[in-house]
Structure 1
Amino acid sequence: MLWIIAIGVAIACCVALLIAVRKRQDHQDETPDDAAARLFYKSQLEGIQEDLAGGRISEAEAIAAKAELAREVMRAKKAAPSSGTSRIATGVVLASLPIAAIAAIGLYVLIGRADLPAQPFAERSFAGSEQELTLETAIAQVEARMEETPNDIRGWLALAPIYMQAGRFEEAANAYRRVLSLEEPTADRETDLAEAIIMANDGELSAEAMGLLQSAAERDSQHVRSRFYIAGELTRIGAFEEAVPAWEYLLSLATGEEPWIPTAQSGLSAAQAGLFVGQLDEPVPDATQDVLIRGMVEGLAARLYDEGGSVGEWMQLVRSRNVLDGADAAQDDLSRALAEVDGMDRIALQDMAQELGLTTE
């Protein structure tokens, strides 16, 4: 139970820090995310109290956990500016997150020892505990413990995300592998390992990582994170026939407020455009088919110029013009498309223009 407190404190600290910059000082305009985070933070405190009441932790242990959590919240409040941009405030929070990580792993070092029986907190020996705890020294202490108790899943769960934060991706992957070997696999754990492998490979998605992501998606049909990686990789390798339904299914899981929706929509548009152009790049058997293809493209152009359309349709038109009529014709359509869209759609068009060697000025 004590290791759960350590991990819980880390999560609660991070959430509390983020709340400090998301909410204005007058507490107006609380978003659904703010409310959810606040309730989660409250639940962590209630969980500590319940463990104390049930005799699962001592009063000293409960006080230590609450005190550490309270200190992190106070630090966040002091660091948060009374005015200024949200970007500055967010920077302060992100800079503070390692402190929360150290607090969590420090609690594991101090009260989460797997080799100790249930023992009052005050009776344990904490030689050197007053020494300043840094991220690297905290990692080293837990690593030393794991050499003695390599099958203690609690230690690997503490180490893996800290390795990721420190940029030690190979070690993070190995830690997640140990976790998966010690417990029943879940979609989240498999995706965690896949992410570590991807980062260790400088962003390249290996066969092992793809296998883990596919397993996660099969294990949980509603798992967004794994499906996002899969759809992106299918688009990257040009498997557009698979990528289009993958993006469509992912978007069907959204409620409408998720921050990843614009990116997924751009991914779908890119896959649709790639599929359309791939069909045009196939050998044309006769003049009749050429006429049909050109008629289809001209019909698309007429509709977009008269009524407008989605960024995916504009991308289809520009790519098609580039294949059929060359860069000048594609440039004309691109200029019109840029005048019709904005935001993430405009960025998608600019990326495509760079790929095709067109200009956006």
Structure 2
Amino acid sequence: MLFWIISALLTVVVAVLLLAPLLRASARATRYDEGEAAVYRDQLRELERDKAEGLISAEDADYARAEIGRRLLAVANRDKAGGEGEQLDDVAPATAPVTRRRYTWSQAFILLCLPVIGLAGYMQIGSPGTPDAPLEARMANPGDDVDLLVAKVERHLATTPEDGNGWNVLAPVYFRIGRFDDAELAYRNAIRILGPDTERMSGLGETIVMRNDGIVTDDAQMAFQAALKIEPNNPRADFYLALALEQSGRRAEALAAFQEIAKASPPTAPWMPLVNQHIAANSAGVPLANAPAVSAEADAQQTANPAAPGNPTAEDIANAQTMSEADRGEMIRGMVASLDARLKEDPNNFEGWMRLVRSYAMLKDMGRAEAALKDGLKAFPAAGAEGQQLIAMARELGLSVDEVSQ
């Protein structure tokens, strides 16, 4: 019922808005006719004065009176017939009043036809038979609607803010749907009421990291350290603390920390691929921990070409030792350009992007270094761990990270 009341009110509002210009134009037309008739009456009175003073002959006065009378009758007929009277010959069409009958038809169309058209359209494409779905009814049975479930818990916590279990349930949900500010508040409330535990402290730390675009801040480190005091060797907390070392430029310590995580984790752990990526990024050719053994064929291929992709071969190094400084620099630029070309063909090479950005920076070519960083972030977005490594390294190299990562 409320829907139909609102629809009727909206129809009235739209009709008033559409009728207002027509009503104003009709009123202007009426005022125009009244003013025109008043002018003709003044002309009749002035004609009588001129005739009485002998300024005009009786024959001319009769002719003028007949003409003025004809015009008055034309105005009267136009008023009486709703605009069907003749237009005056000496009145320009552009300034002549719009006929009232035209306004009448327009007003009738707006008042009658538009509501009928709107109602017919709604009956055709709308859903008039759909029952009401009040918020209370939907809150009572939210089903799988995450937004309604969250709203239901929020309503509960608004009346009982000291319910630690409610905050504890809501915090990870906030995190999953990307409401990191609310997630941090929920975690802090749960910790305040229920006390700290590994999950809550690690969740708080990870939320702070996400709020800061993947940077492990001091507050996040404190949360992870608190989680480790409760449960030592927690891989989630260990990983972020190792990432903090990497982001601060302490690569040797970060490498050792990631290797410790790998040693303490089963080879099939879901976090091992990411850990191995960080080990590879912080080491030059150190074998990945818990990596499966390579086949004999692969081992033979590695022996034949031990250089990592983009690195100079032993022959390149031997040739470089006999070159002049200028030739050596040209050779290095050629190898960097070759690496750049290979990465454009196969951008899914994280180590290659790290090496390319660093190489351009070492060559003092900051423009190409930033361009390589931008291309690398397309393949490894800043939201991911690899993208954060690229950004952290770029900051250490003095590159303009903010403009590139936007």
Q: What is the TM-score when the length of structure 1 is the normalising length?
A: 0.45
Greater RCO (Cα-Cα under 8 Å, separation 6 or more): 1
Larger radius of gyration: 2
Q: What is the TM-score when the length of structure 2 is the normalising length?
A: 0.40
